[in-house]
Structure 1
């Protein structure tokens, strides 16, 4: 029998709009880590009813950007030092596969964009600009995600990487990881990407994210 199709409802679109606005406010620092999110204040800010707000908050909680405890609090996630390694390793599992798929597919333009982004990220590491690293490193891997050609993997990354990356937003991140080794691993990633070596790029990506691999 024919499968019925329907356009997104106004309610669904409203929920998605609300989610995007709250997401962007968290990622740009307008809503700070640990900040409580009050329904009435969100209603006044966003100009919508409670239902799409609660649905959007639930989605953001699944993504790791919001912490919710029924009848206690809804607040922006606070990054914790003890979560850094787990968040890095989870990103490494995702991005390692992404990079392995993406590198052989890169056209000249995409390769040039990724290499330029890697150069910017390496410069951030060399100057110990922690805030810039937190932003630019995720942007680099987002470029690989866009080129990997796997819609399922792209969807998983889209749904999870912001929350995982947010957990790394610690001002003393360089005290919690091996900064010099990570810088060198980004250089390895650049070299492998430029050479079209997807296995080398995958191994460098996994090393960046503290996954165990080949011995040095």
Structure 2
């Protein structure tokens, strides 16, 4: 069993645990339950009008994805996002969005491409509004995920999406990252409309300020001495 308690929890309580997981997780993501808040299963059980069993299951899941930390017999509390964790989330999101683009762009219908373009316009319109920008980028990621038609991708993303979204909402791009994101957004729009999955994958990474190995190699080649490039 090794950490999988689902076999010990009746189906009705597993459903309740899912609901409590989503309720508490959403409140942590949007800041209604701030970092550092102590969580007591008895209080949460009373708040959601459930027993302690689904609350404990929900808290264990939240701990696994990094939204909650537990010290047995001492405390359960909401974690504090660190700059390192926020940067890790940004990098991870860049690569994952690239992978989703690689799967989705060649499969998209004309209507799906048009919808992606509308979301991209919302990202542009958000500008420096970090909250609106994060929401629109996530909407684009989810749209591309649906277009990919890959069930495994969507299931794995669903489990980690709360922690990822929480950290991305706190990402404040540097000037360099902002310039890369603007470049990537323009390139992504063009690649989606052209149905160019490879170009979309690279552009998606740039949208999160991430340069992949091929991007770095191309940049290094462009910066090399012209005489050296021509031999």
Provide the TM-score with structure 1 as the length reference. Answer: 0.86
CA distance in 1, matches of 2:118, 2:66: 30
Displacement of 1:211 after TM fit? Answer: 4.0
User: Does the CA-based 8 Å contact 1:16-1:56 persist in structure 2?
Assistant: yes
Moved over 4 A (4+): none
CA distance 1:182–1:69, change in 2 (3 Å): farther
Displacement of 1:176 in angstroms is: 8.1
Larger radius of gyration: 2
CA pair 110-67 structure 1, distance change in 2 beyond 3 A: farther
1:195 aligns with 2:194: yes
Once the two structures are superposed, what CA deviation does each residue of 1:149-176 show, in whole Å capped at 9, x if it has no partner? Answer: 1111111111113212212332x71348
Secondary structure of 1:192's aligned partner: helix
**Pairs aligned (count):** 206
**In the aligned structure 1, how far is the partner of 2:119 from the partner of 2:82?**
27
Residue equivalent to 2:225: none
Structure 1 unmatched runs, 5+: 1-7
Of 18, 23, 47, the match for 2:49: 47
- Indicate which of 6, 10, 13 corresponds to 2:12: 10
Match of 1:142 in 2: 142
State the distance in 2 between where 1:68 and 1:139 align.
Answer: 32
Q: Say what the alpha-carbon RMSD is for the aligned residues.
A: 2.0
Structure-to-structure mapping, 1:141-160, within 5 angstroms: 141-160=141-160
Once the two structures are TM-superposed, the CA of residue 141 in structure 1 deviates from its matched residue by 0.5
Return the TM-score normalized by structure 2: 0.81
Larger helix proportion of the pair: 2
Distance 1:176 1:48, change over 3 A: farther
